[in-house]
Amino acid sequence: MSSSGTLPVISGNGKGISTHAQVRRVIICAGTGCMANGAMKVFEQFKSEIANAGLRVVLELRPEAESDEIRVSKSGCQGFCQMGPLVSVVPDGILYTKVRSEDVQEIVQQTLGAGQVVDRLLYKDPGTRKSCRGLEDNPFYARQSRFVLHECGFLDPEDIREYMLHGGYGAARMAFVEMSPEEICKMITASGLRGRGGGGFPTGRKWDAARVQTSTKKYIICNGDEGDPGAFMNRSVMEGNPHSVIEGMMIAARAIGANEMLVYVRAEYPLAVERMRRAVADAEREGILGKNVFGTGLSMKCEVMEGAGAFVCGEETAMIASIEGRRGMPSPKPPFPAQSGLWGKPTIINNVETLAHVCRILNEGPEVFHSIGTKDSPGTKTFALTGHVSNTGLVEVPFGTPLREIVYNIGGGVTDDAGKIWKTGFKAVQIGGPSGGCLTEEHLDLPLAYESLRSVGAMVGSGGLVVMNQGTCMVSIARFFMEFTQRESCGKCVLCREGTKQLLALLDDVIEGRADAGTLLLLEKLGKAVQVGSLCGLGKTAPNPVLSTLRYFRKEYEEHIFEKKCRTGRCKALLSPSINEAKCKGCGMCIAACPTHAISGEKKKPHHIDSELCIKCGACAATCKLHAVEGI
């Protein structure tokens, strides 16, 4: 966003930037997170409170807006999910956090009426405790480069006219009217755009492979089946700027000669499904989709399909099988989908974020896009930042940004389990979800890019970043992701189906104290076998969390196996609770709290724990005010 707080407007030629009239707006974040916290109640309260104050409320975009109007609108995810519901006041440059319906009257009276800021609703920087008025002085936003995500947080996702007023579908018109398919492919190739779904394959090369195929029918599929635990980047783009996805698909369709498009959305994303379907219907009503697109005589059809609810359906060939009505299972490649995909026809599959970049490349030129990020990984990447970090949410940074910048400057630092800043508490980051790997303290200054991450056994993946503090058991983390991939295995190939099951069983042995020296060797050997022998990319990357934690946290595995100890106390089977006789005063509170009657002792004399009866629930330690219970 510009420093004045106004929205960027792409002019009709798709290349210049101008500024729309500064209409005062109250924008309520209506992404899934904020809606779950009551954003729609806030939205309705604003409408009534502004009207009660005698101000003019406008709910729809008006090209000829008047100066005394106040537009109340919704946006998609503004990114700062932890602080929602979020309310932006434009062009005042104010961002209010954790707004409740009972706060609305004060905002209307103080901000809209008297021009004053309600300080208690501003974000407080956890390091300085300084109030941040808007985006420019808020480190979470100020240190990002929000290109794909910017309009998600400001445009009304349910109003196609607002998208069009800000230059929407100008790039698609350029592609259909002014450019040939070959020119489009060359431009995307020159930009260096790579797939944001995990593999990082050059987008222009993929398109060109489908363009040269001789076929009367070709397809474009948008992969919105975002299945990684903790990842919600694609969901937010579909919810916040669905027309940018449709426009990117249209450009891709023109590039390869397709006239039919399909958006495959995760069924667990009902709001994304709803807004994508509405966007398609609105584009059809405006004549953007349908017959005679932009007067070229070409037709374009788009459908939205809910996914099958399986992680494996995010893989290209498994997705195609699902769309065709078959069980979602991968197929051997070649042939690649660009050669023979949906119904045996040339098909291009790109994920949501990749397609959302396409319009900007055509509008600004490939050189601008390639100037951002690194030489081999141009542009920006969105990440879902979660875990033990002060500021969780959706972030977008140029490729090449160090992990330290994201965790400490944008994320605000590592926290303990209570949410307080823990300056020396950083332990690791899991990047790329179940298919990714762990990055440690030695990687904090590693530039995040495809090649650099691959060199340390990790991958960008779809963009999940889970920050972990020193209280995290890395063996348990490996088990968590392995349980997920084992459960989601389609079962087609033996190494993935049986190998992940055996890896999970071996990790259970480690956590529950049954492992020995041979377990470590078997974990590594089996993990590498699953990597090599699995059919699809999901199976090949399934052992990554295990292998990367073995590589960087081997000492923890050895403690579990040889010392029967979990340094974090997370693995209950390895706990050895006892009562420190020097501290115990025999008050009896632990006896009363124990659900299995494992504690005995006389009043005012040291008590004892029967290890055979103890279930290691921790009730005794939580009750003891003298901290006499140890080892749990």
Q: Domain map of the chain by residue range?
A: 8-160, 168-370, 380-440+452-472, 475-563, 575-630
Are residues 326 and 316 in contact, defined by beta-carbon separation less than 8 angstroms? no
Query: Which helix H or strand E contains 234, and what residues bound it?
Result: helix 233-240
What is d(CA 546, CA 434) in angstroms, rounded to the nearest whole number? 10
Name the residue with higher pLDDT: 348 or 464.
Answer: 348
What pLDDT score does 5 carry?
A: 33
Residue 323: other Cβ atoms inside 10 A: 22
What is d(CA 287, CA 301) in angstroms, rounded to the nearest whole number? 11
Taking 60 as the threshold, does the pLDDT of residue 362 lie above it? yes
What pLDDT score does 201 carry?
A: 92
103-141 burial by CB neighbour count: b if 16+ within 10 A, else e?
Answer: bbeebbeebbeeeebeeebbbebeeeeeebbbbebbbbb
pLDDT over 70, % of the chain: 95
Q: Is the bond preceding residue 366 a cis peptide, omega within 30 degrees? A: no
Give the largest Cα separation in the chain, rounded: 92
Taking 60 as the threshold, does the pLDDT of residue 13 lie above it? no
Taking 70 as the threshold, does the pLDDT of residue 11 lie above it? no
Q: If you average pLDDT over every residue of the chain, what do you get?
A: 90
What pLDDT score does 62 carry?
A: 60
Count of residues in the chain: 632
Name the band, by pLDDT with cuts 50, 70 and 90, for residue 7.
very low
User: Where is average pLDDT lowest: 52-56, 342-346, 374-378, 544-548?
Assistant: 52-56
Domain 475-563: CATH architecture, name and number where available:
Up-down Bundle (1.20)
Residues 498, 504, 506, 508, Cα dihedral to 10°: -150
Mean pLDDT calculated for residue range 68-73: 84
Name the residue with higher pLDDT: 459 or 164.
Answer: 164
Residue 612: other Cβ atoms inside 10 A: 7
State CA 364 to chain mean position distance.
26
Which CATH number applies to 575-630? Answer: 3.30.70.20
Q: Is the bond preceding residue 335 a cis peptide, omega within 30 degrees? A: yes
pLDDT over 90, % of the chain: 75
User: Where is average pLDDT lowest: 56-70, 88-102, 316-330, 408-422?
Assistant: 56-70
**What pLDDT, in 10s, does the model give residues 300-338?**
999 999 998 888 888 999 999 999 999 999 998 999 999
**What pLDDT, in 10s, does the model give residues 558-579?**
999 999 999 998 898 898 899 9
What pLDDT score does 477 carry?
A: 94
Taking 50 as the threshold, does the pLDDT of residue 14 lie above it? no
What pLDDT score does 247 carry?
A: 98
What is d(CA 491, CA 489) in angstroms, rounded to the nearest whole number? 5
What pLDDT score does 458 carry?
A: 83
What pLDDT score does 103 carry?
A: 97
What pLDDT score does 514 carry?
A: 95
Name the band, by pLDDT with cuts 50, 70 and 90, for residue 1.
very low
Domain 8-160 has CATH 3.40.30.10: yes
Query: Which helix H or strand E contains 18, and what residues bound it?
Result: strand 17-19
What pLDDT score does 610 carry?
A: 92
**What pLDDT, in 10s, does the model give residues 440-486?**
999 999 999 998 988 888 888 778 899 999 999 999 999 999 999 99
Name the band, by pLDDT with cuts 50, 70 and 90, for residue 20.
very low
Are residues 399 and 373 in contact, defined by beta-carbon separation less than 8 angstroms? yes
**What pLDDT, in 10s, does the model give residues 270-304?**
999 999 999 999 999 999 999 999 999 999 999 99
Name the residue with higher pLDDT: 322 or 538.
Answer: 322
Where does 240-336 show beta strands of DSSP type E? 260-265, 301-306
What pLDDT score does 60 carry?
A: 67
Taking 60 as the threshold, does the pLDDT of residue 252 lie above it? yes
pTM above 0.85, yes or no: yes
Cβ neighbours for 87, distance < 8 A, ≥ 6 positions apart: 26, 27, 28, 29, 42, 46, 95, 96, 99, 107
Domain 168-370 has CATH 3.40.50.11540: yes
- Which of 263, 262, 266, 274 shows the shortest CA–CA distance to 231? 266
What is d(CA 153, CA 168) in angstroms, rounded to the nearest whole number? 16
Name the band, by pLDDT with cuts 50, 70 and 90, for residue 65.
low
Name the band, by pLDDT with cuts 50, 70 and 90, for residue 18.
very low
Name the band, by pLDDT with cuts 50, 70 and 90, for residue 10.
very low
Domain 380-440+452-472: CATH architecture, name and number where available:
Roll (3.10)
